[in-house]
Structure 1
Amino acid sequence: MEISMTFGNAAALFGAMFVLATIPGPSVFTVVARTIASGFSHGLTTVLGIVVGDLIFIILAVLGLWSFSEMMSGLFVLIKYCGSAYLIWLGIELWRSKSQSVKIHKVAESSWLSNFLCGLLITLGDPKAILFYLSFLPAFLDLSSVSILDTGIIMVIAAIAVGGAKLGYAYMSDKSRLLLTSPRTKKGMNVTAGSVMIGTGVFLVTKT
């Protein structure tokens, strides 16, 4: 099985994806908010959801399934609104949560599944992402001659680059929250995280 992607192209693709993934946006804000609210493991699960969403769009782009995604545009719009509503709901729950003097590592306001779906819905809620990959990937290789192995390499590169960048935000957010353990401070952190999630949800639902 032939490989179209060279080491140089792979390195360039990784670098470009990593840099783009570090740019603050809805996904970054959500990772930070979920980590501050519930801890690193929950931030990690949110990152996994984001990465899975990106991988789905990469597969659609590599296989030339833009026509399929157009047929499913109604579903993507529904996912967008559901994801936005979910983020806003989580933000309101954080606003309403009562702070207690508890050890920070025991705080877990939401489940891992909840955070995974949060990350996944954010990514799938932006169907224009597939257009990005359709225009972005050809700069590094010819999509018409991409093999299964090439596709696998692209997915690994995306998972490491995107996941690594988002994990950096989760790690820094977790370190900052470990320094702030008083009930009053925790309440402020919840309000901040909740505001970020509500703002992200509103941004997604109003984004054209």
Structure 2
Amino acid sequence: MTIATLLTYSLALFVAAIIPGPGITALVARAMGAGFTDSLAMAFGLILGDMVFLTAVVLGLSVVAQTFGALFMVIKYLGAAYLAYVAYKIWTAGLVKAEMAAGPKRSPIHSFLAGLFVTLGNPKAMLFYVALVPTLVSLDTLTVTDYLQLLAATFVVLVLVTVPYIALASRARELFRHPEQLRGLNRVAATFLMGTAGYIALRA
């Protein structure tokens, strides 16, 4: 695989990822409600989901994955339910001291799994890789090195997209130092997060 091919793949992925979708919306809402660190774990979950889809396409499992539509439905509803639960916890966090108002404390593993479920519950994300990868590389001649380069490019590009989003959302939270303001911000974040959960659950 040539450098030009890898750059083309990276650019296409960057353009697709930077457009806010359910994953980015959930990530920003989580950053507004809980701060940078918790949201970073969620971002890594989102990224792992993309890497799983890339791997499935490389291994030729896209047809198999599409056959198990029920599995995607279960994952989708699990992800939506968890986001709704997080939204509820953020909404009911109540008034606390400003220096402690970082939203409901969640295990990084929970945040990571939430991000993973959001991506894996979105078959359209796999369709992006199904459409893109075969047009750039021959899957029949793809080497392990090529695959590792694609994985590395996916990870780097998605980190470059997600980290600025959560950094800006976390910074916006820090500007609201008064407890009443933080409660209002919590409820805005919870509303967006609940809306994302509803969108994920209801979309085809």
What band does the TM-score fall into relative to the shorter chain?
over 0.9
In the alignment, is the contact (CA less than 8 A) between 1:79 and 1:125 conserved in 2? yes
Specify the alignment match of 2:96 in structure 1: 100
- Quick check: 1:167 aligned with 2:166? no
Q: Which amino acid aligns with 2:159?
A: G
For this pair of structures, how many residues does the alignment match?
A: 204
Deviation at 1:171, TM superposition (A): 0.9
With over 3 angstroms needed to count, the CA separation of the structure-2 counterparts of 1:94 and 1:108, relative to structure 1, is: closer
In the alignment, is the contact (CA less than 8 A) between 1:39 and 1:105 conserved in 2? no
- In 1, distance between residues paired with 2:13 and 2:100? 33
With over 3 angstroms needed to count, the CA separation of the structure-2 counterparts of 1:189 and 1:107, relative to structure 1, is: same
Q: Which moved more, 1:106-115 or 1:124-133?
A: 106-115
Q: Which amino acid aligns with 2:107?
A: S
1:142-191 CA distance string (max 9 Å, x none)? 22211111111111101111121011101111111111111011101110
- Quick check: 1:55 aligned with 2:70? no
Specify the alignment match of 1:76 in structure 2: 72
Structure 1 residues not aligned, in runs of 5+: none
Deviation at 1:138, TM superposition (A): 2.1
CA RMSD of aligned residues (A): 1.5
Percent identity over paired residues: 29
Q: Which amino acid aligns with 1:95?
A: W
- In 2, distance between residues paired with 1:171 and 1:127? 28
Q: Which moved more, 1:70-79 or 1:80-89?
A: 70-79
Structure 2 residues not aligned, in runs of 5+: none
Pick from 181, 187, 192 the counterpart of residue 183 of structure 2.
187
Pick from 21, 36, 39 the counterpart of residue 17 of structure 2.
21
Q: Which moved more, 1:98-107 or 1:167-176?
A: 98-107
In the alignment, is the contact (CA less than 8 A) between 2:90 and 2:104 conserved in 1? no
1:36-84 CA distance string (max 9 Å, x none)? 1111111111110001000100000011112321343222110101111
In the alignment, is the contact (CA less than 8 A) between 1:94 and 1:190 conserved in 2? yes
Specify the alignment match of 1:125 in structure 2: 121
In the alignment, is the contact (CA less than 8 A) between 1:76 and 1:127 conserved in 2? yes
In the alignment, is the contact (CA less than 8 A) between 2:47 and 2:155 conserved in 1? yes
Pick from 187, 192, 198 the counterpart of residue 196 of structure 1.
192
In the alignment, is the contact (CA less than 8 A) between 1:104 and 1:178 conserved in 2? no
Q: Which amino acid aligns with 1:26?
A: P
With over 3 angstroms needed to count, the CA separation of the structure-2 counterparts of 1:62 and 1:206, relative to structure 1, is: same
Q: Which amino acid aligns with 1:202?
A: G
- Quick check: 1:37 aligned with 2:33? yes
Give the alignment's TM-score, normalised by structure 2: 0.94
Give the alignment's TM-score, normalised by structure 1: 0.92
Specify the alignment match of 2:130 in structure 1: 134
Pick from 110, 115, 130 the counterpart of residue 114 of structure 1.
110
1:122-159 CA distance string (max 9 Å, x none)? 00001232222111112321222111111111111011
Q: Which amino acid aligns with 1:70?
A: Q
